[in-house]
Amino acid sequence: MTNRRRKNQILFYVDDEELRSIESRMISTGFRNRSAYLRKVAIDAYIIHIDYSFLKEHTRQIRMIGINVNQIAHHLNATGNIYRQDIETIKDRLDEIWRLQRSILSSLR
Protein backbone atom coordinates (compact mmCIF):
# COMPACT_ATOMS: atom_id res chain seq x y z
CA MET A 1 0.00 0.00 0.00
CA THR A 2 2.83 2.42 0.66
CA ASN A 3 4.19 2.23 -2.89
CA ARG A 4 0.92 2.69 -4.77
CA ARG A 5 1.20 4.48 -8.06
CA ARG A 6 -2.42 5.64 -7.79
CA LYS A 7 -2.93 7.23 -4.40
CA ASN A 8 -6.32 8.91 -4.83
CA GLN A 9 -9.41 6.84 -4.19
CA ILE A 10 -12.78 7.63 -5.75
CA LEU A 11 -15.75 6.02 -4.08
CA PHE A 12 -19.32 6.03 -5.38
CA TYR A 13 -22.42 3.92 -4.95
CA VAL A 14 -24.62 2.22 -7.52
CA ASP A 15 -27.80 0.19 -7.21
CA ASP A 16 -28.08 -3.45 -8.27
CA GLU A 17 -29.33 -2.67 -11.77
CA GLU A 18 -26.54 -0.14 -12.37
CA LEU A 19 -23.97 -2.65 -11.14
CA ARG A 20 -25.30 -5.33 -13.51
CA SER A 21 -25.13 -2.83 -16.37
CA ILE A 22 -21.55 -1.83 -15.52
CA GLU A 23 -20.45 -5.45 -15.22
CA SER A 24 -22.17 -6.41 -18.46
CA ARG A 25 -20.46 -3.59 -20.36
CA MET A 26 -17.16 -4.37 -18.67
CA ILE A 27 -17.29 -8.02 -19.76
CA SER A 28 -18.42 -7.13 -23.30
CA THR A 29 -15.35 -4.90 -23.71
CA GLY A 30 -12.97 -7.58 -22.50
CA PHE A 31 -12.09 -6.06 -19.13
CA ARG A 32 -11.79 -8.34 -16.13
CA ASN A 33 -10.78 -5.75 -13.60
CA ARG A 34 -13.58 -3.41 -12.56
CA SER A 35 -11.22 -0.67 -11.39
CA ALA A 36 -9.35 -0.71 -14.69
CA TYR A 37 -12.62 -0.60 -16.64
CA LEU A 38 -14.11 2.27 -14.61
CA ARG A 39 -10.85 4.20 -14.82
CA LYS A 40 -10.75 3.75 -18.62
CA VAL A 41 -14.37 4.83 -19.02
CA ALA A 42 -13.97 7.84 -16.71
CA ILE A 43 -10.86 9.05 -18.52
CA ASP A 44 -11.59 8.20 -22.16
CA ALA A 45 -15.39 8.19 -22.51
CA TYR A 46 -17.27 10.95 -24.28
CA ILE A 47 -20.41 12.46 -22.87
CA ILE A 48 -22.61 14.14 -25.43
CA HIS A 49 -24.94 16.81 -24.14
CA ILE A 50 -27.60 18.03 -26.54
CA ASP A 51 -29.30 21.28 -25.64
CA TYR A 52 -32.98 21.15 -26.56
CA SER A 53 -33.90 24.35 -24.73
CA PHE A 54 -34.86 26.01 -28.02
CA LEU A 55 -37.73 23.53 -28.27
CA LYS A 56 -39.45 24.92 -25.17
CA GLU A 57 -40.85 27.94 -27.02
CA HIS A 58 -41.93 25.78 -29.97
CA THR A 59 -43.65 23.40 -27.58
CA ARG A 60 -45.44 26.27 -25.86
CA GLN A 61 -46.65 27.66 -29.19
CA ILE A 62 -47.89 24.27 -30.37
CA ARG A 63 -49.70 23.77 -27.05
CA MET A 64 -51.43 27.15 -27.45
CA ILE A 65 -52.48 26.21 -30.98
CA GLY A 66 -53.88 22.93 -29.65
CA ILE A 67 -55.86 24.81 -27.01
CA ASN A 68 -57.29 27.10 -29.68
CA VAL A 69 -58.31 24.18 -31.92
CA ASN A 70 -59.80 22.41 -28.90
CA GLN A 71 -61.95 25.48 -28.15
CA ILE A 72 -63.26 25.40 -31.72
CA ALA A 73 -64.02 21.67 -31.42
CA HIS A 74 -65.80 22.29 -28.12
CA HIS A 75 -67.91 25.01 -29.77
CA LEU A 76 -68.76 22.65 -32.64
CA ASN A 77 -69.77 19.86 -30.25
CA ALA A 78 -71.88 22.23 -28.15
CA THR A 79 -73.74 23.91 -31.00
CA GLY A 80 -73.57 21.42 -33.84
CA ASN A 81 -72.57 24.32 -36.10
CA ILE A 82 -69.22 25.22 -37.52
CA TYR A 83 -68.53 28.55 -39.10
CA ARG A 84 -66.32 29.39 -42.05
CA GLN A 85 -64.18 31.49 -39.69
CA ASP A 86 -63.64 28.42 -37.47
CA ILE A 87 -62.47 26.39 -40.47
CA GLU A 88 -60.14 29.21 -41.53
CA THR A 89 -58.76 29.45 -37.98
CA ILE A 90 -58.09 25.70 -37.91
CA LYS A 91 -56.32 25.90 -41.28
CA ASP A 92 -54.24 28.84 -40.05
CA ARG A 93 -53.30 26.94 -36.89
CA LEU A 94 -52.31 23.85 -38.88
CA ASP A 95 -50.14 26.04 -41.12
CA GLU A 96 -48.55 27.48 -37.99
CA ILE A 97 -47.83 23.97 -36.67
CA TRP A 98 -46.14 23.05 -39.96
CA ARG A 99 -44.11 26.28 -39.86
CA LEU A 100 -42.98 25.50 -36.32
CA GLN A 101 -42.07 21.93 -37.29
CA ARG A 102 -39.98 23.15 -40.24
CA SER A 103 -38.30 25.65 -37.93
CA ILE A 104 -37.48 22.89 -35.43
CA LEU A 105 -36.07 20.64 -38.13
CA SER A 106 -33.94 23.41 -39.60
CA SER A 107 -32.58 24.16 -36.09
CA LEU A 108 -31.38 20.57 -35.77
CA ARG A 109 -29.17 20.73 -38.87
Q: pLDDT per residue over 65-79, tens digit each?
A: 888 888 888 888 888
Q: What residue segments make up the domains of the chain, in order of their start?
A: 9-48, 55-108
Q: Is the pTM of this model over 0.75?
A: no
Q: What is the spatial distance between Cα 4 and Cα 78, in angstroms, rounded to a whole number?
A: 79
Q: What is the spatial distance between Cα 102 and Cα 85, in angstroms, rounded to a whole number?
A: 26
Regarding predicted confidence, which is higher, 33 or 75? 33
Residue 82 in contact with residue 69, Cβ under 8 Å?
A: no
H/E stretch holding 38 reads helix 34-44
Burial of 14 (0-12, 13-18, 19+ CB in 10 A): exposed
Residue-wise pLDDT tens digits, 35-46? 999 999 999 988
